[in-house]
Structure 1
Amino acid sequence: MRRTFLMLSLAAPLSAMAAAGPAVGPQYDTSHVYVAPNDVDAFVQSFTSTFGGKSTAQVVADVTPTPSSTTSQLLQTPSGTVSLFGFKTPIPHPFGDERNGYLVKDMDLAIQQARQAGADVIVAPFPDPIGRDAVVQWPGGVNMQLYWHTTAPNYAAFQYVPENRVYVSADRAPAFIKAFTTFSHGRVVADDKHAPGAEIGRDKGTYERVRISSDFGHMTVLVTDGHLPFPYGHETTGYEVADLNATLQKATGSGATVLVPAASSDGRQAAMVQFPGGYVAEIHQVLAKK
């Protein structure tokens, strides 16, 4: 259902796990999508028609530390995985604000490392039907869920690793980047302080774009003043595909709407799409170098 966790050998020293970092692999990173129960089936059909892949069986469960009820299923595609929730009850705070779930090797150690790196633990670890979960908040107000499962999953690597798209202010960007790279054992692979404003819907000007790589996968940090036209800032994940135009045709043919037409920048062609239920995603194709 909602998450997948790796069962570690009890013989593995905590010091060795800490040195290796908390991540298991990017194929266990799931984007969290919350839609109204009546929109669940339409979202599943549109998302899987667009990216391929399939859904696990839908279950109804309580996946929060206080009483609640939601439908839950995992959409697994070559371009990324979605944890989909259709809450039948009001959603307990702060659930719904976390952008994704990251599988960690050891929950207690990961929580310790997150705190040491500068995160707040805004939902302390709690049991769910198949493991343990917690929610942390990074500098800049970025919420992420950490999870661990009692039964080891075995997922194939993504064909295209998706990216977390994180919008933060210039005031908090340095603290966020330092905290997250420390926790994830990641590194900054690109920092363009004068990226074209067109990438965030502006007619002119520039902004700072930072790309991070870690064992959790890809991340793009968009450092802005918050003057963002819709839908920029609503998307939490960027999905890479082989052929953007063909993918957009599949999206619109299955009920999705192209909010921002495809445009080229920084070696990629990208568009913004809204799926049934309101979920907004960036979809991009990496362009061949000339």
Structure 2
Amino acid sequence: MTGKRQPIQVLLVCSLLFPLAAIARAQGAHPTPEVGVGAQYDTTHVYVAPEDVDKFVASFLATFGGQSTKQVVATVTPTPSSTTSQLLQTPVGTVSLFGFKTPIPYPFGAERTGYLVSDLDEAINLARDSGADVIVSAFPDPIGRDAVIQWPGGLNMQLYWHTAKPSYAPFETVPENRVYLSPERADAFARSFLRFSHGKVVSDNAHAAGIEIGRAKDTYRRVHIESVFGKMAVFVTDGHLPYPYGREMTGYEVKDLHGTLAKAKASGAAVLVEPYTADGRVEAMVQFPGGYIAEIHATAPK
């Protein structure tokens, strides 16, 4: 079949802002346990080859500032494996960095984030009751316990709990978990995550500018959610995404985008998408040594 491609908004029908907002209010009337701790305890999981670990660390910290915890070699899965492990803490987001020396056991490597919870068993039960699938049941790690869950739409997250309670300073700017979902599963995901996180829908735009997903002539649906776990942007698309859209996991907010990009390039990162303006901010896409792709943005000048 030939002919002009229809804009994405025809495929996505309409925004469901009011139903999602109503769901969040209804859940507030029937409270579930609050298991989140704070956005500064939530990390993006980054896996790179062992030979790229030091290059990634140097580039990421040179770009955003901050520091790394001491690198250790550990088993962080419930079955035998070995990886370097360290935490990169910056003012705009935290990375849990893994450089596996062995093959990576399934399904590890597919989880996007690690969320600290106050009680792992309670969090697992709440996730399950909220519609998530527990794909890796609770297991011990060197400093606590973990589990991996999967939300409607196939989004994997790791939940973790520390034996010794951590204490981290809040971020200067809270990073954005960037999630790409189909029209068929986006609302099921949002309902489940809102129940689990006690979150709220900040905006639900059925006609967001397509330039945000590399399709300047189209529009698409974008949902912003905020919770104790931080910010989340849900991109509802037909999956016709030019590279690198959909490959980035996290968006980092900085004060000076052009200055940050200059630091990134000087430290070995590559700018994949040059800065553009949309939704009141200037955005770009960067790939760090080892392959990790990130969105970086700043408030657009008025």
TM superposition score normalised by structure 2: 0.89
Structure 1 stretches (4+) deviating beyond 3 angstroms?
Answer: none
* Residue 162 (1) aligns with residue 175 (2): yes
Q: Which residue of 2 aligns with 1:247?
A: 260
Shift in Å at residue 22 of structure 1? 1.1
Q: Which residue of 2 aligns with 1:286?
A: 299
SS at match of 1:68: coil
| SS of residue paired to 2:248 | coil
2:209/2:216 contact within 8 Å kept: no
Whether the 8 Å contact between 2:33 and 2:126 is mirrored in structure 1 is no
Are 1:260 and 2:280 counterparts?
no
Q: CA RMSD in A?
A: 0.8
Q: Which residue of 2 aligns with 1:144?
A: 157
- 2:131 is equivalent to residue 107 of structure 1: no
How is 1:219-234 mapped onto 2 (pairs within 5 angstroms)? 219-234=232-247
Equivalent residue number for residue 3 of structure 1: none
Hey, what's the Cα distance between the residues in 2 that align with 1:139 and 1:47? 31
Q: Match for residue 117 of structure 1?
A: 130
How far, CA to CA, are the matches of 1:195 and 1:130 in structure 2?
A: 42
Deviation at 1:139, TM superposition (A): 0.3
**Size of the alignment, in residue pairs?**
272
Query: Could you tell me which residue of structure 2 aligns to residue 5 of structure 1?
Result: none
Of 282, 286, 296 in structure 2, the residue corresponding to residue 269 of structure 1 is 282
Name the aligned partner's letter for residue 293 of structure 2. Answer: V
User: In structure 1, what residue type is equivalent to 2:49?
Assistant: A
The structure 1 residue matched to 2:65, chosen from 45, 52, 64, is 52
> Conserved in 1, the CA contact under 8 Å of 2:32 and 2:195?
no
Which of the numbers 27, 31, 35 marks the counterpart of 2:48? 35
**Partner residue, 2:28:** none
**Residue 73 in structure 1 maps to residue 93 in structure 2:** no
Determine helix, strand or coil for the equivalent of 1:118: coil
Q: Which runs of 5+ in 2 are unaligned?
A: 1-30
Q: Deviations over 1:68-114 (max 9, x none)?
A: 00000000000000000000000000000000100001000000000
- Equivalent residue for 2:147, pick from 128, 134, 150: 134
Partner Cα separation in structure 2 for residue 49 and residue 63 of structure 1:
27
How many angstroms apart in 1 are the aligned matches of 2:131 and 2:194? 11
Which digits, 9 at most, give the CA deviation of each residue in 1:229-279, with x for residues without a partner? 000000010000010000000000000000000111001110000000000
SS at match of 2:273: strand
Please state how far the C-alpha of 1:203 moved relative to its aligned partner.
3.0
Report the secondary structure of 2:95's partner residue.
Answer: strand
How far the C-alpha of 1:21 sits from its partner, in A, is 1.4
Give the letter aligned to residue 99 of structure 1. Answer: R
Secondary structure of 1:247's counterpart equals helix
- Contiguous gaps of at least 5 residues in structure 1: 1-17
